[in-house]
Amino acid sequence: MSTTRTLLALAALAPAVFSAPLASRQAPSGVPAYVLTYAPIVYLDSSDPYFPSDIGAQLSHTQPEVNFATVSGAPNPLTLNNLNTLNNLGGTNVYLTSKDDISKNPSWLNGVKPDASGKTNGAVSCAIIVNDHGSGLVDAFYMYFYAFNYGGDYFSFIIGDHVGDWEHNMIRFQNGMPQAIWYSQHANGEAFTYATVQKSGVRPIVFSANGSHANYAITGTHDHTIPNVNLPEGPVEDHTDKGSMWDPTLSAYYYSYNAGSNTFAAYDSSTPVNWLYFNGHWGDQQYPNSDPRQTTIFGISGTQKYQGGPTGPEDKQLNRTNVCPDNGDTCIVRTILGP
């Protein structure tokens, strides 16, 4: 069957429920065409002030620290081409720490609102990483970057704010056809068959939660009080709606990943690669309880307002066995939409 006939057949099986004014998209030579054809479209929550952000710009607003002390001997300026050198200067203990007082909400935390076509102009806010397992099995990771994560207001307490936020979708392909898609949410997420999720044309629809940027397959309220259980309401909620449309492919870096050697290669020679090997954190270290900016609920660990920044794409199980991360839980690939 021709590619055109295949796409039409898929569209007939899963009619588009959204239409988006998508711009013309191009990827560097060598990127499998289906990685672009079936790339997710993200709808940001209409109340969220924290838009996708430029990956490289995060380095100009932060400085590397270990235990709240500036790393001695770090490159200056720090760039996406030399970020990996921090692995020898503290490694996983390095935090890219804001030069500004985060409690004053500096403007760079707000990122870049996508334009009408869904592009974050002037901001490369996505990394697309392709892992070819062989025998026609390919995983494509769509890594989304935000400069700030707003944790949420729980019983008048704000919990879980942090600088830097990496979220992702992963689509599993077999012989160029999408089979299933993973939606990252906080420490885990949800998987669905490709046929199940809503689409614009043949592209899966993703709804990014207000502040936390957790990815969901439907709009509405999502309670995540209990890990791995999503309910329609509860004390710890995410909220999603059809706000600004973001097409991450329009401002992205493209890479292949070799699991055998644990190496990355850019599809375009002008694309920086070394930053992907950085195994530290993309935000501030969790502030101690003695910090006047910090709050906790009755001193309970895990209820801090400001928590530590996340690790990057290298730490997102790029060579997972199942569609879900290999974390010991059963991988449920859902065939119905719902909480």
- Percent of the chain residues past pLDDT 70, beyond the cut: 89
The closest of 249, 268, 258 to 203, measured between CA atoms, is 249
What pLDDT, on a 0 to 100 scale, did the predictor assign at position 263?
98
- Name the 3-class secondary structure at 52: strand
Q: How many whole angstroms from its chain centre is CA 39?
A: 14
On the question of pLDDT at 7 being above 80, the answer is no
Span 319-324, average pLDDT:
97
The residues facing 143 across adjacent strands are 127, 168
129-171 pLDDT, tens digit each: 999 999 999 999 999 999 999 988 777 788 899 999 999 999 9
On the question of pLDDT at 64 being above 80, the answer is yes
What pLDDT, on a 0 to 100 scale, did the predictor assign at position 83?
98
On the question of pLDDT at 8 being above 50, the answer is no
The pair phi, psi for residue 311, each rounded to 5°, is -80, 170
Contact call for residues 42 and 206 (beta carbons, < 8 A): yes
List all residues 6 or more positions away from 37 whose beta carbon is below 8 Å from its beta carbon: 7, 202, 203
What pLDDT, on a 0 to 100 scale, did the predictor assign at position 339?
67
How far, in Å, CA of 189 to CA of 184, rounded? 4
Contact call for residues 275 and 94 (beta carbons, < 8 A): no
User: Around Cβ 121, how many Cβ atoms within 10 Å?
Assistant: 11
pTM (global) more than 0.85: yes
Distances (CA, A) of 127 to 40, 53, 107, 231, 245: 13, 12, 23, 30, 18
The number of residues in the chain equals: 339
On the question of pLDDT at 224 being above 80, the answer is no
243-296 pLDDT, tens digit each: 999 999 999 999 999 999 999 999 999 999 999 999 999 999 999 999 999 999
What pLDDT, on a 0 to 100 scale, did the predictor assign at position 298?
84
pLDDT band at 225 (very low <50, low <70, confident <90, very high): low
165-178 pLDDT, tens digit each: 999 999 999 999 99
- Percent of the chain residues past pLDDT 90, beyond the cut: 80
Distances (CA, A) of 144 to 213, 251, 265: 9, 11, 19
- Could you tell me the two tokens for 326? 């290999």
Mean pLDDT for the chain? 91
On the question of pLDDT at 220 being above 70, the answer is yes
User: Residue 12 half-sphere exposure, CB side, CA atoms within 13 Å?
Assistant: 6
Q: What angle do CA 51, 52, 54 make, to 5 degrees?
A: 130
Between 51-60, 67-76, 184-193, 231-240, the lowest mean confidence (pLDDT) is in 231-240
Tokens 């502030």 locate to 287
- Could you tell me the two tokens for 107? 């403007």
Contact call for residues 13 and 5 (beta carbons, < 8 A): no
List all residues 6 or more positions away from 97 whose beta carbon is below 8 Å from its beta carbon: 62, 63, 64, 65, 68, 163, 283, 284, 285
What pLDDT, on a 0 to 100 scale, did the predictor assign at position 22?
63
